[in-house]
A and B are shown apart, each in its own frame.
Chain A
Amino acid sequence: GDSVTQMEGPVTLSEEAFLTINCTYTATGYPSLFWYVQYPGEGLQLLLKATKADDKGSNKGFEATYRKETTSFHLEKGSVQVSDSAVYFCALAGGGADGLTFGKGTHLIIQP
């Protein structure tokens, strides 16, 4: 079945550091890929998405590129802020209205 593997946390960085959170996936066909974020005390929110190979999703300074050849969708941000502290989930969906398959999540802590 489909699966998502993302780097274990917590990841602790200083403000303005460069961020990479690795995500790789296993799926049949051509899934859509997503990053969701969960801020403390809030529900899951879609951060960005990519629906086909070589697409780049971006939002709030974060970006990720759908790499079919390496089955990866790594999340990056050039300069993180304390407000980016949250849990980040990589996910995939096999079809348009399919349920999501999530990774285990990566807890990101940004120190001032």
Chain B
Amino acid sequence: EAGVAQSPRYKIIEKRQSVAFWCNPISGHATLYWYQQILGQGPKLLIQFQNNGVVDDSQLPKDRFSAERLKGVDSTLKIQPAKLEDSAVYLCASSLYQGAQYTEAFFGQGTRLTVV
């Protein structure tokens, strides 16, 4: 079974530039998550999609971050304009949706963003 695919693996940009990350979840997984992992910290949930609808974006800095999941499959996360503090690894994860029953989230390898 193919895992969660993310690209690019690494990205270096200057502050105030824009950047986009792409995620392809495991086939059939209805739930998709984007996490931000700053060096030395645990991942922090940015946004959660159920099919192509947003379930939770309470921790997404909406003045500069945006995300979409067209057709309920692939997703993109965009930052515009980037700040130095956005330097982090951006992780995508996906899981089956089975109502109240927990289903395991599978993580991609992440995109390491460096803002200079």
Contacts and interface: CB of A to CB of B under 8 A. Distances in A.
Interface of A: 4, 32, 42-46, 49, 51, 89, 91, 93, 95-105
Contacts of B109: 42-43
Interface residues of B, number: 31
B61 interface: no
Contacts of A105: 40-42
28 contacts: A42-B109, A43-B91, A43-B107, A43-B108, A44-B107, A49-B102, A51-B102, A96-B99, A96-B102, A97-B31, A97-B97, A97-B98, A97-B99, A97-B103, A98-B48, A98-B56, A99-B48, A99-B56, A100-B35, A100-B43, A100-B45, A100-B105, A101-B45, A102-B43, A102-B44, A104-B40, A104-B42, A105-B42
Contacts of A98: 48, 56
Contacts of A89: 42-43
Nearest to B34: A99
Nearest to A51: B102
B75 interface: no
Given A97-B31, A97-B50, A97-B103, 15 more contacts: A43-B3, A43-B109, A46-B104, A89-B43, A97-B48, A97-B97, A99-B45, A100-B35, A100-B43, A100-B45, A101-B45, A103-B42, A104-B40, A104-B41, A105-B41
A96 B103 contact: yes
A32 B95 CA distance: 15
Contacts of A104: 40-42
Interface of B: 3-4, 31, 33, 35, 40-45, 48, 50, 55-56, 91, 93, 95, 97-105, 107-110
Contacts of B45: 99-101
Q: For A42, A43, A103, which residue has the most chain B Cβ atoms within 10 angstroms?
A: A43
Contacts of B31: 97
Contacts of A32: 102
Contact of A102 (B4, B40, B42, B98): B42
